Amino acid sequence: MLYDYLTTNEEGRLVIGGVDVKDLAEEYGTPLYVLSEDRIRENCRKYTAAMAKYFPEGSFPLYAGKALCFKGIYPVIDDEGMGADVVSPGEIFTALAAGFPAEKLFFHGTNKTDSEIEYALDCGIGCFVIDNMNELAALDKAAGEKGMKQKALLRLTVGIDPHTFKAVQTGMIDSQFGIPIQTGQAEGFLKAALDAENIEVAGFHSHIGSQIMDSYQFCDQADILLEFAADMKEKYGYTAEYFNIGGGFGVRYTEKDPTVDIEGNISDIAEHLAAGCEKAGLPVPKVLMEPGRSIVADAGVTIYEAGGIKTVEGYREYVTIDGGMTDNPRFALYGSEYTVLNASRADAPADFECTVAGRCCESGDRIAEDIMIARPERGDLIAVLGTGAYNYAMSMNYNRVPRPAMVMLSGGKARLVVRRQTFEDLISCEL
């Protein structure tokens, strides 16, 4: 199986973290998001341990909640000693409602409105990641009015193509995220930030992209940040305490994806950074990372029930499921590949070629095309693996499909962490 917490039982069914899918489906219904808490914790530990081992003291990972944000994740993240990256007041609210400490939150976003800035300041947010000059001025003013000095990082773009698909490249020069170094604008950004009385500039942030499998893109990023940092030290005497190098490590969605060696990559980056700092005559900064996908993606499995199974003669076989783009829009948006299996017949040969389609009135509503699974019958459970990241977070109510429930598995036991939306929920904001 793609992930080691997946097995099959004597009845030939898929077992997730020690729990039979049939029991999960019977107790909680389908579609159902299933999340292995044990796997999330393992993933967190890869970062906390490697960052503590290879980076200077005070370096730590922040969980990028955009990958999967719901109250139940934050106690786990907190317990694992991580901070969190929040990208909206909605994420701040969720984290705080779960008891996550505000001082461990880093507030991102390309357009923080005045009221959002005020909200975050009132919450006592640990650190802002300032995206642009207007935001810098607005934050300086708002913090000044409250008699506060706000800690912040400056979001810079380093102009790297991380060789990943275009929709998730956020570090390129022509980008709406942050201020570019190559155009010379980052210098003015830093200068203005240093002049801002109510802002304490803690360092630089840059995020180069997502689903990255190697360390070399991060080493390139470190080189560009270091060159800029050395220049700024010389010109303004400013030394960055932190480099936040963003998120982006990839995960295995299918057998053909490599396994990303988190510890090995972190060790490479640390070595490269330390050598670069020595050359530039700079102290090695504390490092922050913002993993999202690599914390939660491979901890998630979605369980659906197969409905219509039809042959379009001369073309293909379709298996329709009781969810689809409404709970996982990633195939519709990016053509993302997943491992799909017939969870009711997990040990039967995968000899049936089919396209798995969702339930929406939308021809793009598919989860996978032309894949091999064991031939299903109506009522069989279909499992899609690797759905922990950017699924629930990007889910929607198109066609008035209620969002699924989510259960978290720990030590072979399931607990409900998000209840299924009801029809009443669907109309709850409508007057």
| Proportion of the chain in helix, strand, coil states, percent, rounded to 5 | 35, 25, 40
Neighbour order of strands in the sheet with 6-8? 6-8, 14-16, 19-20
Q: Which helix (H) or strand (E) holds 357?
A: strand 352-357
Q: Which of 13, 39, 104, 207 binds ligand LLP (CB under 6 A)?
A: 207
Which residue number, 19 or 245, has a Cβ lying nearer to ligand LLP? Answer: 245
- 369-408: contacts with ligand LLP (CB under 6 A): 390
Q: Which residues pair with 415 in a beta bridge?
A: 408
- 305-364: contacts with ligand LLP (CB under 6 A): 330
Type of residue at 162: P
Q: Per the residue annotation, which of 127, 360, 361, 429 is the catalytic one?
A: 361
Which residue number, 336 or 342, has a Cβ lying nearer to ligand LLP? Answer: 336
Task: Round the CA-based radius of gyration of the chain to a whole number and report it.
Answer: 23
If one asks whether residue 291 binds ligand LLP (CB under 6 A), the answer comes out as yes
Stretch that binds ligand LLP, among 64-72, 109-117, 372-380, 402-410 (CB under 6 A): 64-72
Q: Which residues pair with 7 in a beta bridge?
A: 15
Q: Which of 126, 159, 292, 388 binds ligand LLP (CB under 6 A)?
A: 292
CB of 94 to ligand LLP, least distance (A): 16
CB of 84 to ligand LLP, least distance (A): 11
Q: Which helix (H) or strand (E) holds 53?
A: helix 37-54
**DSSP assignment letter at 309:** E
CB of 197 to ligand LLP, least distance (A): 27
Which residue number, 39 or 330, has a Cβ lying nearer to ligand LLP? Answer: 330
Q: Taking the CB of residue 72, how many other CB atoms lie within 10 A of it?
A: 18
Which residue number, 159 or 246, has a Cβ lying nearer to ligand LLP? Answer: 246
**Binding marks (x or -) toward ligand LLP, 91..110, rule CB under 6 A?**
-----------------x--
Q: Give the residue ranges of DSSP H helices in 68-149.
A: 73-79, 89-97, 114-123, 133-145
State the Cα angle at 220 between 217 and 221, rounded to 5°: 85
C-alpha–C-alpha distance, residues 120 and 147, integer Å: 15
If one asks whether residue 46 binds ligand LLP (CB under 6 A), the answer comes out as no
Strands 179-180 and 127-130: unpaired
C-alpha–C-alpha distance, residues 313 and 311, integer Å: 5
- 234-253: contacts with ligand LLP (CB under 6 A): 246-248
Catalytic residue check, 361: yes
**Binding marks (x or -) toward ligand LLP, 268..287, rule CB under 6 A?**
--------------------
CB of 255 to ligand LLP, least distance (A): 19
Contact 222, 273 (CB under 8 A): yes
Q: Which of 293, 345, 359, 366 binds ligand LLP (CB under 6 A)?
A: 293
If one asks whether residue 210 binds ligand LLP (CB under 6 A), the answer comes out as yes
Strands 14-16 and 19-20: antiparallel
Strands 316-321 and 300-312: antiparallel
**Binding marks (x or -) toward ligand LLP, 158..197, rule CB under 6 A?**
----------x-x---------------------------
- 108-147: contacts with ligand LLP (CB under 6 A): 108
CB of 207 to ligand LLP, least distance (A): 4
Which residue number, 19 or 127, has a Cβ lying nearer to ligand LLP? Answer: 127
CB of 297 to ligand LLP, least distance (A): 8
Which residue number, 14 or 224, has a Cβ lying nearer to ligand LLP? Answer: 224
Calculate the alpha carbon distances from 105 to 22, 74, 190, 206, 207 in Å: 38, 11, 22, 17, 17
Stretch that binds ligand LLP, among 29-37, 292-300, 343-351, 406-414 (CB under 6 A): 292-300
Residues 6+ positions from 2 with CB-CB distance below 8 Å: 252, 254, 255, 298, 339, 385, 386
Catalytic residue numbers, as ranges? 361
Q: Note the residues at the interface with ligand LLP (CB under 6 A).
A: 64, 66-67, 85, 108, 168, 170, 207, 210, 246-248, 290-294, 330, 390
